[in-house]
Amino acid sequence: MADDRLLHAINRLRHLLEGSPEHASDVIRREGAGAPPVPGALRFVPEGSAPADEATVVYRGDLAAAGGEITLGDDVFVQFETYAAGGYIGVGCPTVFSVTDDVDRAMLVRDAAHAERTGEFPAHVLHPLATILGQDDWIRGTTASVDDGASPTPPSDVVDVGASVAHQREAFSGDEAALVGGYIAAATVLRAATGRFTEPIRVRGFGGAASVARRRPGDHSLVVLDVGERSYVADAVTGGLCAVPAAIADVVGASVRGDVDDALLRRAGATDVDTVLAAVRAALGGTARVSAEEPSHD
């Protein structure tokens, strides 16, 4: 497999594990699913199961959510660790952190609360090679319990990377769900944005007076960044990024906490928050990504 093809496979695996297949090439077909192939789809299989080809990526090792490690190609390793272990391991290769038990869950909530109070995030969640298993569910506020050892049922029953990957997640609800969703969204955007800007980056709602307000449950994919004198809105799921006027940034930031008032809307020249959010999402749909795109494989 050529180097750019390998990078493509790694990115597709990352998108799949995060829970956000956005293109046909993100979809990995389940063996025996009975569905016709999707153009551009990749299939990950253990060594010896099938020969490698343009649509099949052969891996060596154990594709398991906690403690697994696989090798792609000759020398690319992907490791799977629990979230609680993140502060004690070195991230020197693509690393997927998972929430597998109450210890991970408690650590995740603790880190999220600390980040919201202080604006400080653990180093392992900001490492550019790290991601969190199933993170898009938390960001979108759609996380549901999954039985230990079971794989989640994906849309159209076609997504899989092997039965040994267990999305062992505990459901968060209420204030905890909002706290965790906002934290993972902010960490995801910071991971991608840190190398893009030379000035310090501040995430709205983390550190400072604004962080004391309670977040509302729901979708936390929109993240407001202040970089120098400019404000940006990023989408933690799609990677979209756009510069916005300060008044628009204020409305988006306040919407996360559910406390948008008429004065904020007037300054933004809007009559309701839904119109502002719809316009921002439309702008994000056609803008640059927070981080560079991977090589094209058309």
Mean pLDDT of the chain: 77
More confident residue, 285 or 227: 227
In this prediction, residue 76 carries a pLDDT of 83
In this prediction, residue 289 carries a pLDDT of 54
In this prediction, residue 148 carries a pLDDT of 35
In this prediction, residue 56 carries a pLDDT of 78
User: Helix, strand, or coil here: 172?
Assistant: coil
- pLDDT tens per residue, range 132-177: 988 888 888 765 433 333 333 333 333 344 433 334 445 677 888 8
Task: Look up residue 247 and give its two tokens.
Answer: 């008044």
CA distance 65 to 77: 14
What burial class does residue 101 get, using C-beta atoms within 10 Å of its C-beta: 0-12 exposed, 13-18 middle, 19+ buried?
Answer: middle
β partners of residue 244:
231
Percentage of residues in the chain having pLDDT higher than 90: 32
More confident residue, 22 or 295: 22
Of residues 45, 13, 219, 26, the one with CA closest to residue 129: 13
Query: Which pTM was predicted?
Result: 0.80
| pLDDT classification of 41: cutoffs 50, 70, 90 | low
pLDDT (mean) for 80-94: 89
Of residues 161, 169, 181, the one with CA closest to residue 72: 161
| pLDDT classification of 30: cutoffs 50, 70, 90 | very low
In this prediction, residue 293 carries a pLDDT of 42
Of residues 203, 168, 197, the one with CA closest to residue 184: 203
Side chain identity, residue 154: P
In this prediction, residue 265 carries a pLDDT of 92
- pLDDT tens per residue, range 213-250: 566 777 889 999 999 999 999 999 888 999 999 999 99
